[in-house]
């Protein structure tokens, strides 16, 4: 058919395809569109904040939205256009087995577990996996980042849980993660292995001393699983950048300190039970917490703020609603940059080490 159409018609077809892609929000922010046109392909222009700070200049307030699991078609289809609209880039921490159709579940054996077992679902039907591959490809094409949430999601109570794994077991889990990703590339996945640079462990579990050598062995450069009291600058330990999940006071809980992640907030609010009458309240409480944490960092140490969530519909979608609302309001603010972990690492590498050390020396930002 192409042969009959000739180059002019093909050109029209490409233009139409491009227009449709832009319309679907599968390409980057509007500013990137020209660079990404079929006629002028090349690396995207670095954002204007990707530079060394001038003397005395404050760092941008980075906000790092991340989604653990990263397998929900419905959620990707909401987040991709929203992120494009507000010029945000996000990180999806992918559970590897979401790329393994149910009928192939036996190909995965979690460290210390029987083949085909996991604490989360596998990928579902072949069609569901194919949809997920499209979602991930669109995310990467729009400049979002894919990291790992490992595979089987074995947490305390489902032993041996990640907390107990040895370095050899972490290596095994990561070998299997990358094996599944590699296999999916034969089915069209366009997430290059060497673009996966970090991850978040299931339930934030794991002994860092045992995990770090496995991260290094797999060319991963960051972890986003440890907690910090307040909002603190990333630190390098054993060659791995640690991006902290902040523990903050939750105003609505009388200042009680909670790990600022969706599930932990839910658990603190009502023991993580479905309670439809309180869905709106939970959205408001979560949004207030995010806003207060952002303001604390902005006003003091300017440490990157991690907003770690899951693609979930817990409590009627209360927590996803809060995250999406927060993204829509914060990412368009002056001096604020919503971006990915690897981009913040690239920014940190451009800075004078002494300047970074001074930021790190500041007390962690606290919600008061």
**Residue numbers of the site for Zn ion (CB under 5 A)?**
68
How many CB atoms are located within 10 Å of the residue 256 CB?
Answer: 11
- The residue assigned the tokens 């990703």 is 181
Q: How far is the CB of 287 from Zn ion (least distance, A)?
A: 21
Residue closer to Zn ion by CB (options 93, 294) is 93
**Residue 125 Cβ, how far from Zn ion at the closest point, in Å?**
22
User: Smallest gap, in angstroms, from Cβ of residue 330 to Zn ion?
Assistant: 23
N-term to C-term CA, the chain: 66
Closest approach, Cβ 310 to Zn ion, in A, equals: 6
Indicate the residue among 68 and 173 with the shorter CB distance to Zn ion.
68
Q: Which is nearer to Zn ion, 68 or 145 (CB)?
A: 68
**Residue among 341 and 347 whose Cβ is closer to Zn ion:** 341
Buried b / exposed e across 354-368, counting CB within 10 Å, b at 16+? Answer: ebbeebeeeebbbbe
Q: Return the HEC string of 15-62.
A: HHHHHHHHHHCCCCCHHHCCCCCCCCCCCCCCCCCCCCCCCCCCCCEE
Alpha-carbon distance values, 124 to 100, 120, 366 (Å): 8, 11, 42
Closer residue to Zn ion in complex, CB, 201/342:
201
**What is the b/e burial string over 223-234, where b = at least 16 CB atoms within 10 angstroms of the residue's CB?**
bbbbebebbbbb
CA 316, 320, 324, 327: dihedral to nearest 10 degrees? 150
Q: How far is the CB of 204 from Zn ion (least distance, A)?
A: 9
The token pair at 304 is 């990157």
Residue nearest to Zn ion according to CB distances in the complex:
68
Minimum Å gap between C-beta 309 and Zn ion is 10
Toward Zn ion, which CB reaches closer, 68 or 223? 68
């Amino acid at each position: 058919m192409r042969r009959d159409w000739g180059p002019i018609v093909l050109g029209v077809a490409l233009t139409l395809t491009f227009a449709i892609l832009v319309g679907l929000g599968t390409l980057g922010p509007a500013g990137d569109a020209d660079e990404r046109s079929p006629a002028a392909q090349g690396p995207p222009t670095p954002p204007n904040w990707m530079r060394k700070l001038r003397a005395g200049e404050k760092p941008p307030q980075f906000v790092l939205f991340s989604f653990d699991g990263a397998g929900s078609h419905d959620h990707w289809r909401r987040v991709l256009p929203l992120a494009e609209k507000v010029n945000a880039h996000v990180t999806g921490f992918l559970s590897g087995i979401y790329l393994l159709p149910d009928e192939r579940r036996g190909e995965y054996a979690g460290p210390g577990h029987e083949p085909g077992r996991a604490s989360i679902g596998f990928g579902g039907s072949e069609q569901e996996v194919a949809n997920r591959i499209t979602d991930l490809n669109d995310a990467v094409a729009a400049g979002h980042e894919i990291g790992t949430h490992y595979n089987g999601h074995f947490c305390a109570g489902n032993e041996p849980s990640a907390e107990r794994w040895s370095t050899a077991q972490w290596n095994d889990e990561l070998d299997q993660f990358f094996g599944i990703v590699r296999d999916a590339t034969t089915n069209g996945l366009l997430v290059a292995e060497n673009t996966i640079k970090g991850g978040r462990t299931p339930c934030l579990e794991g002994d860092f001393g045992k995990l770090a050598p496995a991260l290094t062995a797999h060319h991963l450069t960051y972890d986003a699983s440890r907690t910090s009291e307040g909002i603190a600058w990333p630190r390098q330990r054993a060659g791995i950048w640690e991006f902290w999940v902040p523990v903050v006071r939750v105003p609505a809980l009388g200042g009680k300190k909670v790990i600022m992640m969706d599930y932990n907030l839910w658990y603190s609010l009502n023991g993580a039970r479905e309670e439809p009458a309180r869905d709106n309240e939970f959205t408001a409480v979560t949004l207030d917490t995010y806003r207060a944490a952002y303001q604390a960092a902005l006003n003091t140490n300017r440490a990157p703020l991690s907003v770690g969530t899951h693609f979930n519909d817990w409590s009627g979608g209360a927590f996803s609603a809060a995250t999406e609302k927060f993204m829509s309001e914060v990412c368009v603010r002056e001096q604020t940059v919503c971006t990915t972990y690897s981009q913040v690492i690239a920014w940190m590498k451009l800075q004078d080490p002494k300047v970074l050390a001074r930021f790190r020396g500041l007390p962690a930002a606290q919600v008061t």
